[in-house]
Structure 1
């Protein structure tokens, strides 16, 4: 289990959860989602980290939604963490963003396409915050050892989390190789399964990323059965209206039932 300030239920045998909207769309939405997930995870004793991107940099089209403004979005993330006394995570894309984002959140996330960017990893390490590195769609689990090493070379005490989000498979599709979970756990770091981005269908001809959200439960149950330490799930009250990645998000009203089933899977393998 990772040790983060404000992380509750660390004595629980359950997996931990990173969950929230793909992007911060506004204050009320973020607080609404956080409040609902805090209620669910407290009931089930699941350690919880609120996730929300303050800015989206990797977009298919130039006119795709990228955010509501860095300062505003980061202030909302900070308010979520303070209001509910929970840790928060957001992704960064350039090395000069690390210090700014670190003032608002507890965990800095390195996007999958950027997991080999040495300066970005080093900048995240220098903040002293925990660093969640998403495995590139083009990498094996074994090769993520080097990404973790880059962070620990700068800050040997840094908390590093590695997150799988599938591998590129043909054109516009991904496939999950569950061998990556134990491979990355062998580095002595907690490993997370991204249950929503692993179901993306990127680079669609429409210019909007597709997805297969009906398989979120399948990906999640398999990950817990294999022994993943945590899960990453993007969720929204109405994914059809989400401004980013709605095609592969879990409707918020389905989260509690899914987590209840996953807790039972976890109990069965312990």
Structure 2
């Protein structure tokens, strides 16, 4: 049975969004040595293209209903944790975690790094109680369906560090899987604040299935595609809830549970 944790945030002052804080847990000294791929080098801003296989794209994968034959419906990414078994996605992508599997590096019908089942889900009470778009981010723990693939997903593909409180105009790289494609797309652009709690990016062709796609700033996770309008109703404009204290607590809970 999937373990679920509902986080009810304590009252505290929001940290200034302009400060870039790399959220390594104090106990996770290993994070200092985490390989952070350059996610935006050489990519023209505002142009969407196929994401070639590399250390960045391989940490991103598609979410399937049951298995590869079930069709992929969302995107997720591996994030660094002490337990080496945590992924991040949109909360609305984990409505049925018992039948959801994650395929990192998925391409053309194949799962080169195996399939991983969901073992625990960490979402904010704001999402479970009322589908608050500002709480549309989730962290989940995973375990291999095939033990021969390795015990921990981060040992297989690596994991993105988590970085909150980004500046309003951060350059973000999004990597995700539209339902109609069997390879991921990549787009980078300067973001703007749509509201105090939602970030916007202009990138074409990020259609259905890209929900949960990681938003990467300097190779670190700073959000996921989701939030306002479920991430956007047109493929040219996408949104992410601003990653603040509430999301950080979810990340810590998932990391501690691994």
TM-score by length of 2: 0.32
The structure with higher relative contact order (CA 8 Å, sep 6+) is: 2
Higher strand share: 2
TM-score (norm 1): 0.31
